[in-house]
Structure 1
Amino acid sequence: MTKLWTLLSALHSLAGPVVMLLYPLYASVIAIESPSKVDDEQWLAYWILYSFLTLSELILQSLLEWIPIWYTAKLVFVAWLVLPQFRGAAFIYNRIVREQFKKYGILKPKVEHQAE
């Protein structure tokens, strides 16, 4: 049982960097090289949210140490942000971040240019 637990711990430790950094870095390069803007939005939103999550962790580190499942919960949340089936990063950006920036006047509404 101890060997199984060690294996699971090692996989868990490896999954974090792969899900949170390695795959997003790869997907971001692919998005930049593609002609579509949809994937660009997803990955820009991901890096904004990942940066915010990292800064929040730095500030709340002493509190988060008391939550035993924090790293697992973070891993599941980041997987939801990253997986293309969910497009979680774009969803959160559009529903929360953009709305808060508009609410406080930081982000101006887009002006549509009409052809004359």
Structure 2
Amino acid sequence: MGKLWTFIAQLHSIAGPVVTLLYPLYASVVAIESQSKLDDEQWLAYWIIYSFLSLVEMVFQPVLDWIPIWYDVKLLTVAWLALPQFEGASYLYERFVREHIRKYITDREHLQYNPHKTKTSPNDNKAKKRFVQFVTPNKEDQEAY
């Protein structure tokens, strides 16, 4: 019984990194290389939710140490988020996260960060001019040296 228990404990400690990191990393690379946007959304949602879960876990670590099944619950939750049979990350993002994000992001902000934007605004030109002025040195500043 001792060897079986040791094997199960080792398998359990390996399952965490495989389920939470290795498989999602592999699937994220495959998603980036595919033509479909659906898998991209699944894995972006996974990384958003997994990051949030990790931050919450860091903050509440002293409390979670007192819960003996926390690691098992986390492993099952992350498996639900990551496995393609469930697509839990997409579900949680669509159902809960997206509503809160949309409250704070306006169309203007979305266009500002969108690399494929089609409109340009006068503010874009002003920002470019300010950046160019910041980056290029003034002749007066160069003469001072």
TM-score by length of 2: 0.72
Deviation at 1:101, TM superposition (A): 2.2
Which residue does the alignment assign to 1:56? 56
Aligned pair count reads: 108
Identity of aligned residues (%): 64
1:27-52 alpha-carbon deviations (Å, 9 max, x no partner): 00000000000000000000000100
Structure 2 gaps of 5+ residues are 111-145
Which residue does the alignment assign to 1:107? 105
Q: Which has the larger radius of gyration?
A: 2
SS for the counterpart of 1:55 is helix
Which residue does the alignment assign to 1:38? 38
Q: Is 1:27 paired with 2:27? A: yes
CA contact (8 A) 1:49 1:89 kept: yes
Structure 1 gaps of 5+ residues are 111-116
TM-score by length of 1: 0.89
More helix per residue: 2
In structure 2, distance between residues paired with 1:3 and 1:107: 55
Deviation at 1:17, TM superposition (A): 0.4
In structure 2, distance between residues paired with 1:82 and 1:3: 31
Shift >4 Å, 4+ stretches:
none
In structure 2, distance between residues paired with 1:58 and 1:35: 36
CA contact (8 A) 1:45 1:90 kept: yes
RMSD: 1.3
CA contact (8 A) 1:42 1:90 kept: yes
Higher relative contact order (CA 8 A, sep 6+): 1
1:74-96 alpha-carbon deviations (Å, 9 max, x no partner): 00000000110111000000001
| Matched residue type, 1:46 | Y
In structure 1, distance between residues paired with 2:74 and 2:82: 12
Deviation at 1:2, TM superposition (A): 1.4
